[in-house]
Amino acid sequence: MKPGLAKGTRDFTALEVSRRRYIINTLQRNFELFGFQPLETPSFENLSTLTGKYGEEGDRLIFKILNSGDYTAKVNQEDWEDKNHQKLTSQISDKALRYDLTVPFARFVAMNHNTLTFPFKRYQIQPVWRADRPQKGRFREFYQCDADVVGSESLLQEVDLVQLYLKSFADLGVSVAIHINNRKILSGLAEYAGITNQLIDFTVALDKLDKIGKDGVTKELLERGISQESIDKLDFLFTQSDNALENLSQLKEKFVGNETGLKGVEELEFVLNQSIQLGADANKLVFDITLARGLDYYTGAIFEVKAQNVQMGSIGGGGRYDNLTEVFGVKNIPGIGISFGLDRIYLVIEELGLFPEGADSKTDYLFANFGPEGTPEALKLIVQLRAKGISAELYPENAKIAKQFTYAEKKGIKNLVFLGEEEIKNKTVTFKNLEKGEQKTVSVDEFLA
């Protein structure tokens, strides 16, 4: 059988794993700096837990797990013959791989709300799965790095998450723009255009503006049954200025008497003004009135982070979801959270050449193997180096020195150590720095110092 990878998945080499750890460690350090605590949930959930939380498009991308045993014997034959997919799915699958980390988190909160201390702040770094069409920066298996706060309606949480985004990407050396909107503004726009009962259709189409442009969005809105008259009223959405606060002022005029829309404008103004006062660059905070993210559960702020100076989709996103735990029978637990897209962040840092030298995991010392006479002394030194947290290894065979050199160079090992008969006799160590080409002999005590 010819080996191959499942579409949309990848193997990771030692270099890639080390660089991914560099990103994860940076994010984890900042999560904990901001008061978030770690949490992990199972890789799969009950199908009923996930469906109905991501909108019609999201539901189609959920990887469902077939029930064990001879599930076909239990399938209703009429459903099978009629290709009634919805009924068939319920009969052959009741589990699914998690689509994101937010819904499993909401399930966790609903199950444990009596024992949690609110506001409850958690971060989670785990893989998720989506049956999406693979392309650059988009995979079927990928990691999300989430930070969420539940149990607080304060807009200061939004401000703090903006700070978390800015600090984390600054630490990674990535220049970003944070696109911000508010679901209440989108609801206000729907009310303004007389399409309140078609809010989801409106936001799903609007969220595709970057991909299909104004004409494509207009076409999809018409296909979804939204009138040309309503579309004409929303035409100003496609000609926004670069000044976020100026655009919000324009909305205030259109939202006169529109309570929901005005509330969204007020909330967004607070977040932008507070963030700027805390030192955020106003040019990196973009009020994106077309940002909808297509997810049914957002109720307030919506975030999307885009890297500057590189062509890539969003590398982070999130928002407020005050009603999410209600579907699990637990009310009045507001929440807000953001996510960092590890895989896309990796591609951005790689393309921009921003990985620091320390992000690569390399062995510090390779001890050349000169045969059984010198092996015990070499191993003793290796043990002492490792005790000091210095990586070291012994070449396993007494091979030609040229072969051992090649091994060290291919692995990117920094130093090749020679512990021959003379060195053992004189209690010295000879080592060559393979990066600089320098070689020197020092005492064992100096080598271990």
Indicate the pLDDT class of residue 134, thresholds 50, 70 and 90: confident
| Cβ–Cβ < 8 Å for 342, 143 | yes
Q: In what order do the strands lie in the sheet with 64-65?
A: 44-46, 95-97, 64-65
Q: How far apart are CA 15 and CA 22, in angstroms?
A: 11
CATH 3.90.1150.10 fits 362-448, yes or no: no
- Contact between 79 and 25 under an 8 Å Cβ cutoff? The reply is no
Give the list of residues 6+ apart from residue 139 with CB closer than 8 angstroms, or none.
8, 9, 10, 132, 343
Residue 136, pLDDT score:
74
Question: What is the C-alpha separation between 213 and 238, in angstroms, rounded?
Answer: 9
What SS3 state is found at 175? coil
What is the percent of the chain with per-residue pLDDT over 90, rounded to a whole number? 67
Q: What is the mean pLDDT of the chain?
A: 90
Length of the chain: 449
**Tens of pLDDT, residues 162-190:** 999 999 999 999 999 999 999 999 999 99
- HSE on the CB side for 399, CA within 13 Å? 12
pLDDT band per the 50, 70, 90 thresholds, residue 77? low
Between 83 and 291, the higher pLDDT residue: 291
- Residue 138 DSSP label: B
**Among 148, 100, 115, CA closest to 322:** 148
Residue 409 CA to residue 80 CA, distance in Å, equals 60
Q: What pLDDT was estimated at residue 75?
A: 58
Closest CA to 164 of 25, 31, 276: 31
Taking CB atoms within 8 Å and a gap of at least 24, the contacts of 167-173 are: 167/30, 168/26, 168/27, 168/30, 168/340, 169/305, 171/26, 171/30, 172/23, 172/26, 172/345, 172/349, 172/354, 173/349, 173/352, 173/354
Checking if the pLDDT of 321 tops 90, the result is no
The pLDDT of residue 88 is 65
Rounded Cα gap, residues 344 and 339, in angstroms: 12
Homologous superfamily of domain range 14-63+99-352 = Bira Bifunctional Protein; Domain 2 (3.30.930.10)
Buried b (16+ CB within 10 A) or exposed e, 367-396: bbbbeeebeebbeebbeebeeeeeebbbbe
Higher pLDDT, 391 or 242: 391
Domain ranges of the chain: 14-63+99-352, 362-448
> 75 versus 265: which is more confidently predicted?
265
Long-range contacts of 160-163 (CB under 8 A, 24+ apart): 160/34, 161/303, 161/318, 161/336, 161/337, 161/338, 162/271, 162/275, 162/280, 162/285, 162/303, 163/34, 163/275, 163/278, 163/280
Among candidate residues 392, 341, 337, 345, the one with its CA nearest the CA of residue 367: 392
How confident is the model over 197-217, as a mean pLDDT? 84
The candidate with the shortest Cα–Cα distance to 173, out of 369, 345, 426, 53, is 345
d(CA 230, CA 258): 16
281 vs 82, which has greater pLDDT?
281
Question: What tokens does 204 get?
Answer: 């799903």
Does the pTM exceed 0.75?
yes
Name the pLDDT band for 295 (thresholds 50, 70, 90).
low
| pLDDT higher than 60, residue 89 | yes
Q: Looking at per-residue confidence, does 432 or 201 come out higher?
A: 432
Confidence of residue 111 (pLDDT cuts 50, 70, 90): very high
Indicate the burial class of 320 (C-beta count within 10 angstroms; 0-12, 13-18, 19 or more): buried
What pLDDT, on a 0 to 100 scale, did the predictor assign at position 198?
87
pLDDT in tens, 322-354: 887 888 999 999 999 999 999 899 999 999 999
Judged against a pLDDT cut of 70, whether residue 74 lies above it is answered with: no
pLDDT > 60? residue 81 = no
- Token pair of 345 as six digits: 């962040």
Instruction: Say which residues have a Cβ less than 8 Å from residue 350's Cβ, sequence separation at least 6.
Output: 19
Q: What backbone torsions phi and psi does residue 292 show, to the nearest 5 degrees? A: -125, -30
Tokens of 66: 């077939």
Mean pLDDT, residues 258-286: 95
**Confidence at residue 84, expressed as pLDDT on a 0 to 100 scale:** 52
Are 315 and 305 in contact, with CB atoms under 8 Å apart?
Answer: yes
Buried b vs exposed e over 61-80: b needs ≥16 C-beta within 10 Å? ebbbeeeeeeeeeeeeeebe
In the predicted structure, residue 125 carries a pLDDT above the cut 70: yes
Segment 95-115 shows an average pLDDT of 95
pLDDT, position 127 = 95
pLDDT of residue 68: 78
Question: Among 79-83, 139-143, 273-277, which stretch is predicted with the lowest mean pLDDT?
Answer: 79-83
pLDDT digits (tens, 9 = 90+) for 32-70: 999 999 999 999 999 999 998 887 888 899 999 988 766
Higher pLDDT, 414 or 159: 159
Backbone Cα Rg of the chain: 28
* Banded pLDDT at 205 (limits 50, 70, 90): confident
Which DSSP helix (H) or strand (E) runs through 441? strand 438-443
Residue 225: C-alpha distances to residues 195, 220, 331 (Å): 10, 9, 33
